[in-house]
């Protein structure tokens, strides 16, 4: 099992954040929410480890 990483771990985090915001430009609230849901599922599939995903769910509740 891989531990959930909660410390900063994204190279060029500001660039990624800008890309994320750009991806939402022009979207309605409904489309933005759907985009976020698809992105979460894509990333969850990439992670693939159910223990890590459960840990992420718990961390997000905090």
HEC readout, the chain: CCCCCCCCCCCCHHHHHHHHHHHHCCCCHHHHHHHHHHHHHHHHHHHCCHHHHHHHHHHHHC
Q: Determine, yes or no, domain membership for 37.
A: yes
Q: 24-58 pLDDT, tens per residue?
A: 999 999 999 999 999 999 999 999 999 999 999 99
Q: Is the pLDDT of residue 2 over 90?
A: no
Domain encompassing residue 34: 28-62
pTM summary value = 0.87
Q: Determine, yes or no, domain membership for 12.
A: no
Q: Determine, yes or no, domain membership for 49.
A: yes
Q: Determine, yes or no, domain membership for 40.
A: yes
Q: Determine, yes or no, domain membership for 8.
A: no
Q: Determine, yes or no, domain membership for 54.
A: yes
Overall domain count for the chain: 1
């Amino acid at each position: 099992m891989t531990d959930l990483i909660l410390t900063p771990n994204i190279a060029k985090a500001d660039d990624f954040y800008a890309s994320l915001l750009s991806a939402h430009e022009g979207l309605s609230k409904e489309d933005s929410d759907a985009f976020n849901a698809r992105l979460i599922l894509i990333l969850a599939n990439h992670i693939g480890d159910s223990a890590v995903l459960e840990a992420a769910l718990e961390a997000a509740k905090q």
